[in-house]
Structures are given as structure tokens and as C-alpha cells.
Amino acid sequence: LWFNAANNSTWYLVPGLIVLIMTLVGTFLTALVMAREWERGTLEALFISPVRPLEILLAKIIPYFGVGMLGLGLCLLAARFLFAVPLQGAMACLLLGSMLYMCVALGIGLLISAFTKNQFVASQIALLASFMPALMLSGFLFDLGNMPQAVHLVGLLLPATYFMELVKTLFLAGTYWPIVLKDCLILGLDSVLLLGLAWRVTRKRLD
């Protein structure tokens, strides 16, 4: 109630929906499309060309990064003009955190598709490994402080938890730098780690 002057659940839920939408776009769609290309063999044409693994990853990351940021823009417009949720913090911090989380979600999707190479399996793993934890364990529906200690620790391992905290802080409380800097640093480290792993497991060869 300190940061929800209207005492409206919409103010609490709408910022969290941004996290879920970006998770679906970044992880689920990326894993699904990449796995479909493995199934159909369209990546074989890339493997016989001079293109390098890093270039393949960039070609897959950039379009979905753009789609994710477009989804963020639509969510912000809906939050402001459709649900009348105020943005108390700095828009620049929200954009920076969103871009970092989008890179994290894309890295997870690329890793899933690289290991499974099957469209159905990739979609199921993406839901279980990204969307469901973001929905249940990130603080969107249930406050982490009210969960059992073991579940709380699992939630702290999820990148979505820190993006959820960042988004809700910027929307409802304002630009509180200790939280903003901490969450952006964690998301930045996660994005470097996951994209680096995706680059390492992508090989110009047919298995």
C-alpha cells in the first residue's frame, strides 16, 4: 500500500505481465523457430556457407530482440493509457533492464534449441524452464518472502526474479538506485553467460 496509492491490483499485476510477455517472445519463440529450422534442415545451407557461428546467432538474435522491444513498447502504452498505471522511475532504466533481460531470454531460447533440435521438445522445455518459473517463482503471483526457504532460493536463481523486481520498483516506487543497479548487474552477467554458452554450443557441423 505504500507504493499503490490507488489500492488497485492492476498497478501490481500489469508491470509483471511485461516480464511474462518478454519471456514468451524471447525464450519460447526463439527456441521454437530455431528448433524448426533444425528439423527442416534449413540450417544446412548456412553450414555449407562461409558464415560463422557468431553470425548465425546474431542473425537469429537481432529480429527477435526487435520483436521483444516492440512488445515492450506496446505493453508500456497499454499500461499507461489502457490501465492507467503510472511509471514513477526513469524510462531509461526500464529500457536498459528490458534490453538486458531480452538478451537473457534469447540466450535461454538458443540454448534450448541447440540441445534439443526438436520443435515439440523445445516448446515444452521452454515453457517449463522459462515461462512457468517466471509465472510462479519470480514474485509475480506470490511474494518470495512468503514462500518456503527452498522455493525462495530457487526463485533467487531465476533471471526473471530480478527483472520482475526491477520493473515493479521502477513502476511503483521510482528509481531506487540500489535495486536498479543490482538487478541490472545481475541481468547483464546472466546475458553474457547465456549468450556465451549459446555461442559455444553452436557448431558449423551436422550431428
- The pLDDT tens digits of the residues spanning 115-174 come to 887 888 888 898 888 888 998 889 888 888 888 888 889 899 999 999 999 999 999 889
pTM of the model: 0.90
**pLDDT given at position 66:** 92
**Is there a domain that residue 20 lies in?**
yes
**pLDDT given at position 193:** 95
Q: Which domain holds residue 187?
A: 9-201
**Is there a domain that residue 2 lies in?**
no
CB 108 within 8 A of CB 194: yes
Spatial CB neighbours of 103, under 8 Å, sequence gap ≥ 6: 61, 65, 191, 194, 195
User: Nearest CA to 105 among 84, 78, 126, 75?
Assistant: 126
**Is there a domain that residue 58 lies in?**
yes
Low-confidence spans in the chain with pLDDT less than 50: 205-207
**Is there a domain that residue 1 lies in?**
no
**pLDDT given at position 142:** 82
**Is there a domain that residue 206 lies in?**
no
**Is there a domain that residue 3 lies in?**
no
Tally of domains in the chain: 1
* Residue 4 φ/ψ region, left for φ over 0, alpha for ψ in the -120 to 50 degree band, beta for the rest: beta
SS3 of residue 118 by DSSP: coil
**Is there a domain that residue 4 lies in?**
no
**pLDDT given at position 205:** 47
Cell triple for 159: 533471471
**Is there a domain that residue 43 lies in?**
yes
